[in-house]
Structure 1
Amino acid sequence: MKTNYIFVTGGVVSSLGKGIVTASLAAILESRGLNVTIMKLDPYINVDSGTISPIQHGEVFVTEDGAETDLDLGHYERFIHTKMTRNNNLTTGRVYSEVLRKERSGYYLGSTIQVIPHITNEIKERIIYCAKNHDIILVEIGGTVGDIESLPFLEAIRQMASNVGREHALYLHLTLVPYITVTGEVKTKPTQHSVKNLLSIGIQPDILICRSDHIISKNECKKIALFCNLPEKAVIPLIDVDSIYKIPFLLKKQNLDEYICNRFKLICNQADLSDWEKVIYEETYTIGKVTIGVIGKYIELPDAYKSIIEALKHGGFKNRLNVNIKLIDSEKIELNGVHLLNDLDAILVPGGFGKRGIKGKILTVKYARENKVPYLGICLGMQVALIEFALNVLNIKNANSTEFDEQCDYPIIALITEWCSKSGDIEKRSKDCDFGGTMRVGNQLCRLIKDSLVFNMYKKEIIIERHRHRYEVNNTLISNIEKSGIKVVGRSIDNKLIEVIENSNHPWFVACQFHPEFTSTPRDSHPLFIGFIKAAKKYHSNYIK
């Protein structure tokens, strides 16, 4: 069967939630038995998201194959079962770098390289490649219609209708219908202008989804349809809701999936959203509440910890608990003290890079360890846990990471090349230090020991988790720490790298080098987050008593 293409654009303002709407629509189509995937086209010139500050762009979502991508791919994986890869995210920088590489190699046989056709052809080839073996691909174009950066992508998707046939291409446009408090009415004019912008580059939208914080009446929908040259049933109002996991139901209620299937002449099952009904039930009918502190350094933009926030909520669903998440700046803990942690039922220290805020994270770990507060350390959160233990339990005053102090006397955390070189065995060093100083990223196998808290949560010995880090636990220095209460309960499959630790003298103290938040979904919460929230509930109950 030929693949059908749905191109999702946004207008009026940015941050309308194209990623959530795209993922929600994909979830409905998938529930009809269709094989669905999603692709994100990002207009920034960076080759990928890996070097962009989380404060500017939000979190870097890591795929199974090790691509550092836009956070919207996290939304996609939370809503559909299809796993994203590096092919599901394409940036302007990646497009131009590939075209320039081809030009330097003589691929274009001396042609003058231009945006049309060379850049647009590269974009189209990537879209078609990503769409292979799927019934439907939804292609989200980042940015807002009218942005100069998005023009090559918009031109490419305009051309796609000719390449795949208009009957296999559908254009969905997401707009804002603002409510004017003074006049007490919603305004359709911004949507009309946004569609006019699309028309000016040759794209007639087939469907409009109109976001608003107020109800859009049938008369207003009729007006939008008339001015935008659309049937009324193709104008879908989407009012704000208190949970993103309700959006599939709102779209389904307005028969959007039926309209699309009829448009593509697809014969398939009716949508079955029973899994999502269970999610909403778990989210709505809670039996208690816990407060979780996330101690980070990028809290100016909560999207920097988007997957962690969602994974904590998922853990709450499975425990029937409402999870109140407090984002706390680790630098404020340095300045103001650990009393900022007093009202927390559990503490999570997430990943991060650089020295800023590290003292506050170490103070946080010390507080959690001494006060028996449930602790989950992720990536850097595991590294600072070991540094804190070495400093305050073993009294090793110069314990640190070479990321923060290259000359430290006791580098409990270091680049793998640094601690391998201590052996002086050059042949062994070159053989064992495969990762070098580069990023270890993507899926890695880990073996758990059976006599551990973590094994009891996973219920299996071999697990696969996603990584994103450069620094590792120094194997040559871990033995003293193990003797004093820290238990290494997970190692890489070749037994060379430490992946998971527990504190034997603490009721629930777990830290891992990988990022479990990337594989948590509302339908299948990650076992570590389920266990973490369960521990928070127990701590809360004991504290109340």
Structure 2
Amino acid sequence: MERMIILSKYIVVTGGVVSSIGKGITSASIGRILRSYGVSVTAIKIDPYLNWDSGTLNPYQHGEVYVTDDGMECDLDLGHYERFLDVSLSGKANITTGKVYSSVIEKERKGEYLGSCVQIIPHITDEIKLMIRDVAEKSKAEVVLVEIGGTVGDIESQPFIEAVRQLKNEEGHDNCMFVHVTYVPYLKAAKEFKTKPTQHSTKELRGLGINPDMIVCRSELPLDDNLKEKIAHFCDVPQQAVINTPDANSIYEVPLIMYSANVGKYVLNRLNIEAPAKNADLYQWSEIVKDLKIDSPKVKIGVVGKYIELEDAYISIREALKHAGAANKVEVDIDWIKADDNYDTEQLNQYDGILIPGGFGERGINGKIEAVKYAIENDIPIFGICLGLHAMTIAIAQLNGHPEANSTEFDVECEYPVIDMMEEQKKINNMGGTMRLGAYPCKIREETIAYDAYKDTNISERHRHRYEVNNEYRDVLEDFGAVISGTSPDDFLVEMIELKDHSWFLGCQFHPEFKSRPNNAHPLFKSFIKAAKDKKENK
């Protein structure tokens, strides 16, 4: 029998000292622990930037753009939430300053404020609370994790800090708690940890009207009890609420580290939650962590991309490869290869598999195409995602007597446009949120690599693109040995391409990495890593 849920409780996560401290992993880990007690959880990421969404952000500045089922281009932390919590989040779970102000201005133009002078308080803060509660109401979750991006003290985050301060007053002490994530540096010269940055960060948060209920201390090395006691004393929290999460080998270890520090019991008691299970069930999660630690046998995968200087630009691909390695009981050793036009393809002979990820723009495309050609000629398993599928299609045509084959993304007047812009995209001038976005159904052809992977003829995957395989060249591509293994249900759009007489060659128009989970590796990634493993064993 389902339990009656009267209202959601909120856990607000803030960060101090430095950015990129791990607030998202901390939030996701708390959520994973609560789920292990049978508590339903959802998550929200607040990004204080003025962009409406993450769609137009450069990967070098903000990492990967994560796409939800409903087509929202979001912050990469939503990927962490979906992977840790094993849920599919709505695009509304990513709240930005742009969304908040756009909504308020739209309401003001409609006269909804009855002639009031529209201000940060109460109108902006009320809109923030409304958006948070809307996610809570629609999800029906018992606990809503709310992560506020940036660092306490950032000018752009102040309206959000004020909004959650008000939220706690309105919801009540038992229904809202604050977790502050800080960094405790170790000074090698002094041979000691310094807690002063944490003290100052907590003081700044308290100056904004928020007293943290728990402080999560990130550090390179473990902190001893004396340091925890000192932080508890100066930051006015119970010592059991000072949680240390030192650097771990894998992000998936963090829930286990926090669970061992009794985070689950503390949160349940603090929020007065009577969980269905008296004890957490993290057995499956601990088994996943064990599988992720496998160091033999090993397969070597070369990822040929254009943003390889920042791994966060391909974070979901990296994690999906790890999930697939664990599922195949192998370690996946990833090399990030810059897709320069002049790089030596002979370096690819050391890899058991090659992956060509998505991206936009001409830079690096020739390097990707050459990598595909090398994989074809040397029968190396190769996996192409979005732009990777485009590179594969161009390479097939070029290897079959059409060196002029290209995409109109890179050459508008090319003579052999095997890749072209989708018809509905040609009249769109705006950049943000205008691509084919979100989950779409796909029909899979039997007796293909795709069918062997999915074991199904009907699937759904998430998209983010403007260009596609040009239908005028489908028959020609099939004459060249291409196999159209996946299409839209009406057979109009090409979703997957394979190649006859190749050990493992698959390109997909969608982004399967967004649906991979540590406890449920994506079928295509599993199949790819298995092919790489077989390739290595048969060398």
TM-score range, shorter chain: over 0.9
Q: 2 CA distance for matches of 1:42 and 1:199?
A: 21
**Alignment-derived partner of residue 82 in structure 1:** 87
Unpaired segments of 5 or more residues in structure 1? 422-436
Q: 2 CA distance for matches of 1:484 and 1:238?
A: 54
Q: 2 CA distance for matches of 1:7 and 1:18?
A: 10
* CA deviation vs aligned residue, 1:351-402 (integer Å, no higher than 9, x gap): 1111111111110010011000000000010111111111122x12321111
Give 1:419 deviation, angstroms: 11
| Residues 102-251 of structure 1 aligned to structure 2 (within 5 Å) | 102-132=107-137, 133-251=140-258
Pairing 1:409–2:409 present? no
Q: 2 CA distance for matches of 1:18 and 1:229?
A: 21
Runs of 4+ in 1 over 3 A off after TM superposition: 418-421
Question: Could you tell me which amino acid in structure 1 is paired with residue 77 of structure 2?
Answer: D
Name which of 260, 273, 279 aligns with 2:282: 273
* SS at structure 2 position matched to 1:292: strand
* SS at structure 1 position matched to 2:19: coil
**Alignment-derived partner of residue 431 in structure 1:** none
* CA deviation vs aligned residue, 1:87-121 (integer Å, no higher than 9, x gap): 11001111111111111121112211111111111
Give 1:229 deviation, angstroms: 1.1
| Residues 476-515 of structure 1 aligned to structure 2 (within 5 Å) | 476-515=472-511
| Residues 301-380 of structure 1 aligned to structure 2 (within 5 Å) | 301-331=310-340, 334-380=341-387
Q: 2 CA distance for matches of 1:207 and 1:195?
A: 11
Aligned 8 A contact 2:396 2:480 in 1: no
Q: 1 CA distance for matches of 2:447 and 2:85?
A: 34
* SS at structure 1 position matched to 2:230: helix
* CA deviation vs aligned residue, 1:283-310 (integer Å, no higher than 9, x gap): 1244400110111101121100000000
* CA deviation vs aligned residue, 1:220-265 (integer Å, no higher than 9, x gap): 1111111111111111111111111111111111111101101111
Give 1:327 deviation, angstroms: 0.8
Name which of 403, 413, 418 aligns with 1:397: 403
Q: 1 CA distance for matches of 2:85 and 2:425?
A: 41
**Alignment-derived partner of residue 433 in structure 1:** none
Question: Could you tell me which amino acid in structure 1 is paired with residue 537 of structure 2?
Answer: S
Structure 1 stretch displaced more, 276-285 or 241-250: 276-285
Pairing 1:541–2:531 present? no
**Alignment-derived partner of residue 425 in structure 1:** none
* Cα 1:419/1:486, change in 2 over 3 Å: farther
Aligned residues: 525
**Alignment-derived partner of residue 444 in structure 1:** 440
Pairing 1:284–2:289 present? no
Q: 2 CA distance for matches of 1:384 and 1:297?
A: 13
Q: 2 CA distance for matches of 1:321 and 1:286?
A: 7
Give 1:84 deviation, angstroms: 0.9
Question: Could you tell me which amino acid in structure 1 is paired with residue 103 of structure 2?
Answer: E
**Alignment-derived partner of residue 475 in structure 1:** 471
Pairing 1:69–2:74 present? yes
**Alignment-derived partner of residue 430 in structure 2:** none
Identity %: 50
Give the TM-score normalised by structure 2.
Answer: 0.96
Pairing 1:528–2:524 present? yes
Aligned 8 A contact 1:28 1:271 in 2: yes
Give 1:345 deviation, angstroms: 1.0
* SS at structure 2 position matched to 1:342: helix
Aligned 8 A contact 2:397 2:480 in 1: no
* SS at structure 2 position matched to 1:107: coil
Unpaired segments of 5 or more residues in structure 2? 1-5, 428-432
Question: Could you tell me which amino acid in structure 1 is paired with residue 347 of structure 2?
Answer: L
* SS at structure 2 position matched to 1:8: strand
Aligned 8 A contact 1:186 1:214 in 2: no
- When the two chains are superposed, the root-mean-square deviation of aligned CA atoms in Å is 1.4
Q: 2 CA distance for matches of 1:203 and 1:119?
A: 19
